[in-house]
Amino acid sequence: MTQRPVVIGVDSSTQSTKAAVVDAEDGTLLAVGRAPHTVTGEAGARESDPEEWWSALARAVADGLRQAAVPPAAVTGIAVAGQQHGLVTLDPAGRPLRPALLWNDTRSAPQAAALTQALGGPQAWLARTGSVPVASMTAAKWRWLTEHEPAVAERTAAVRLPHDFLTERLADAAVTDPGDASGTCWYDTGRAAYDPELLALIGLDPALLPAVAPTGATRVGTLTRAAAEALGLPAGVAVAAGTGDNMAAAVGLGLGTGGLLDHPVVSLGTSGTVFAATRARPASPGLSGFAAADGGYLPLGCTLNCTLAVDRIAGLLGLDREDAAPGDGLVLLPYLDGERTPDLPHATGLLTGLRHATTPHALLGAAYEGAVFTVLRALDEVLTACGLDPADPSVRDRPLRLVGGGARGRAWTETVRRLSGRPVVVPTATELVALGAAALAAAAATGADPVALAREWGTGEGETLPPVPRDTATWERIDGVLDRAHPLLAG
């Protein structure tokens, strides 16, 4: 019996690496290999060793192939989707000079504010990059490095994003893609190129940066002999340019210029993200105006505090994460790590409305409500950036696609339904970032359109939960508290 071709889609996230082994012809997920990462830091610092990402990738691929019981010779393509914004600094031999600064490292907030003003304010940045610098953006992290560790910056021979670092290890190709590049704040999304003036303002030599491939599905080479040996794969496997994790999730859902447009997605993970595919170039100060992996655009709102923050509240209360009840007049904004949307990098958690009758279950429910409210308020900005009116009934009635780890939790799903009043589609597939990367890998191997391929695979399909009446009272209560507390939270 002839072995069908398979591809490997890699999701290198904040906490772990996942390697999805996928049937390249029908998209069947054969297995998912996993390996954890270590994140260190306190007082706003969040760092990881890029070498651990590489060793985790090798372990995850080996685990996936073992589970799938397919011969390595059947693998025809591989692509990496990585956590966005991280700053990787390399020496001339391609070795990291220090741990990578991760997307949720908030120490660079002062540098982000300084960069914003240096160019003339938010609108000037929106016109160039589609995004305003915040602590998450790579440009702010580079400025932080030059100010706090100038010796490291001086020794840096190459600057990479997390997925770029791994792709270069696979194919010996110094390359990125428009999607991940658009999260740096030194890439002009209108001209689809690095911006020399912004690089000069940031203080970054363009010679340190990788080339930009046309799309994340672009074939940039094949596995080197060293990479093939490390991964246990043949040396001829096609390597795609890959992309950022959010862009890969959009591909996995079939969103893009070759698929569904203006279709809102809510992702509940360590961070909460909301995004939609559009042909319109977004320019909203409250969003990241990303490019998509397929050449369109992906306006995105991101909150730092989502499942991890709510789990922390549950732990403090000694409750299981599903032991939540409606907030009962409470407002709990779980901004435990500062916040990105809204831009409050120095914020802490805020609780109001406590009474003698307050129960731990209501406290936990209020944490869910605060996190979901923050995500859904960002969603309204995403829809506006797509040229849609969030208050229009025809827009408000569109289903949300709910993905990420939180989408598998009853408390998360029901809170989203209650505060949005929308139908909710929960895709059956659980590894959409890795599946999107697999579609990019298959496209690199065959020349197919990755978004169209993902739609043929049906990776974005799932159960539709009907709408429930919208809890406007809770929404308005949280909205009022956040507006009044904003100056306090800003520090």
Cα 221 to Cα 72, 170, 175, 449, 459, distances in angstroms:
18, 9, 10, 18, 27
Would you state the pLDDT for residue 444? 97
Would you state the pLDDT for residue 1? 52
Would you state the pLDDT for residue 338? 87
Residues 380-401, mean pLDDT to the nearest whole number: 87
Would you state the pLDDT for residue 458? 92
Residues 448-471, mean pLDDT to the nearest whole number: 93
Q: Which has more pLDDT, 289 or 205? A: 205
Q: Is position 63 annotated as part of the catalytic site? A: no
Would you state the pLDDT for residue 192? 93
pLDDT level of residue 43 (50, 70, 90 thresholds) = confident
Would you state the pLDDT for residue 304? 87
Residues 27-37, mean pLDDT to the nearest whole number: 96
Q: Is the peptide bond before 342 cis (omega within 30 degrees of 0)?
A: yes
CA dist 342 and 340 (Å) reads: 5
Query: Which single residue is written with the structure tokens 């246990």?
Result: 232
Domains of the chain, CATH where assigned: 6-247 (3.30.420.40)
Q: What integer best gives the mean pLDDT of the chain?
A: 94
Would you state the pLDDT for residue 432? 93
Q: Which of 2, 3, 7 is nearest to 76 (CA)?
A: 7
Rounded percentage of the chain residues whose pLDDT exceeds 70: 98
pLDDT level of residue 2 (50, 70, 90 thresholds) = low
CA dist 491 and 480 (Å) reads: 19
Mind listing the pLDDT tens digit for each residue in 436-446? 999 999 999 99
Token pair listed for 224 = 């080197």
Residues 417-425, mean pLDDT to the nearest whole number: 95
Does position 231 have pLDDT exceeding 90, yes or no? Answer: yes
Q: Which of the following is catalytic: 245, 294, 337, 380?
A: 245
Rounded percentage of the chain residues whose pLDDT exceeds 90: 80
Mind listing the pLDDT tens digit for each residue in 78-137? 999 999 999 999 999 999 999 999 998 999 999 999 999 999 999 999 999 999 999 999
Burial (Cβ within 10 Å: 0-12, 13-18, ≥19) of residue 466 = exposed
Does position 471 have pLDDT exceeding 70, yes or no? Answer: yes
Mind listing the pLDDT tens digit for each residue in 137-159? 999 999 999 999 999 999 999 99
Does position 260 have pLDDT exceeding 70, yes or no? Answer: no
pTM of the prediction? Answer: 0.88
